[in-house]
Amino acid sequence: MHTRTSLLPSWIIALICGSLVMTIALGVRQVSGLFLRPVTADLGFSREVFGLAVGIQNLVWGLTQPFAGLVADRIGARWVVVGTGGCYALGLGLAAVAADSAFFILGLGVLVGLGQSGTTYAVILALIGRLVPERQRSRHLGVASAAGSVGMFAMVPATSVLLDVADWRTTFLVLAAVAATMPLLGLGLTEKRPPPAGAAAVPVGGAFAAAIADRDYWLLNLGFASCGFQLAFIATYLPTILTDGELSVAVAAGVLACIGAFNIPGTYLAGLAGGRQPKARVLAVVYIARAAVVLGFLALPPSAPSAIVFAALIGLLWTGVVPLTSGLVADLWGRRELGFLFGIAFVGHQIGAFAGAWAGGFVFDRTGSYTLVWVAVVGLSLSAAAFHLMVRERPRPCALEAAGDD
């Protein structure tokens, strides 16, 4: 009797399938800002309500991701992606048929947020981090993270065209059909070996307890929360900020696509830099650069050229922090519980994202501008840089023990 074996190592198959899942999951979520004007005009609610829906999406994603990561650490990523990918598609479908703000928030906010918990960073990057050889880990985490930028680059112009030729409801239904392919891709996420039989007790007595008691873990979380605020605010409101400044919808969509395009090399280069330099120091540089780019954008009058330059520069700095942060967690506290530990860190990121998505609409509805939120973006970026400069980048005993067991 002959046993069929794959022509490719399991880690390469996981890298391919996982990257495609992240391409879809992160690509679809980045187009939300294009729906702000048509949805609020049709359903008759404010920008704050739309921002609340996106904020709840980020918050649900963050709060459920540690548990998705924990389940994936125990039973493998395959079935987690299958289940949450289905929730993602269902949420987009519900948003498409929403008749009021409550139903819209349930679909785009709660269900899509739940879907993102198992189709994005904590589950996919943790799986790749466990399977990829250590010397190649940072580079391939960068590859998988950059896949999300490929999705953003492709989804933004495609969604913009759909919104031009159809209505927002039809566009949501098309995106739901695209998201429905993620459960199929999830079937390709297999691991060479199952998690250790006694792993269920590790989080409360091993790496988890060590990380929770570690000052540097909380500094990392605070910096990551700052990142979430910045990205959620810019992704949700930049298209409307540009159209409010009398730029065309096509320019606004092009700016979002440009962020995605430049994020591809930016994320990959961040992964490479993290393999050669201390990751905490690289993160500090990224946050300082973000603050400088935002200040430059605000100093110039609104125009298509300045918006494109801003998009290119901020795109280079967009999600490169994700492979760096995931790699830093793995380096300091080990790979065995990476899904759960990075999931906990991601809660902070998504609390920040909730605040950024909601604050934009809240401040605009009361002041008529986004100036106060831009100030917060710059201040939080500089704070994040300071937090990461204080991180002591040395492996903890639990990381050394896990390395010895591998």
- Quote the tokens at residue 220: 């990392």
Give the Cβ contact number of residue 16 at 10 Å: 17
Residue 361 is assigned to a structural domain of this protein: yes
Do 98 and 43 form a contact (C-beta atoms < 8 A)? Answer: yes
pLDDT tens digits, one per residue of 331-387: 887 776 676 787 788 888 989 999 999 999 999 999 999 999 999 999 999 999 999
Helix, strand and coil in the chain, % to nearest 5: 80, 0, 20
Which amino acid is present at 178? Answer: V
Does residue 1 belong to any structural domain of this protein? no
Look at residue 297 and tell me if it is in a domain: yes
Give which of 49, 50, 60, 57 is closest to 29, Cα–Cα: 57
Number of domains in the chain: 1
The pair of structure tokens assigned to 27 is 């690509």
pLDDT at residue 381, rounded to an integer:
96
Q: Is residue 145 part of a domain?
A: yes
199: in domain: yes
Angle at 58 between CA 379 and CA 155, to 5 degrees: 100
- The answer to whether the CB of 237 falls within 8 A of the CB of 370 is yes
Give the global pTM: 0.81
Q: What is the pLDDT of residues 225-242, one digit of tens each?
A: 999 999 999 999 999 999
Output the six-digit token pair for 137: 């880990």
For residue 2, give both structure tokens: 């002959």
Residue 201: count of CB within 10 angstroms of its CB: 8
Please, which residues have CB within 8 angstroms of residue 344's CB and are 6 or more apart in sequence? 66, 208, 211, 221
Domain-located, residue 192: yes
Domain span at residue 254 reads: 10-405
| Within-domain flag for 329 | yes
We report the CATH number of the domain holding residue 342 as 1.20.1250.20
| Cα–Cα distance, 158 to 63 (Å, whole number) | 30
Tokens encoding 118: 């198992």
Percent of the chain with pLDDT over 90: 49
Residue 26 falls within a domain, yes or no?
Answer: yes
| pLDDT of residue 404 exceeding 70 | no
Which residue stretches of 213-248 are H helix?
A: 215-244
Residues 6+ apart with CB under 8 A from 328: 220, 274, 279, 280, 283, 391, 393
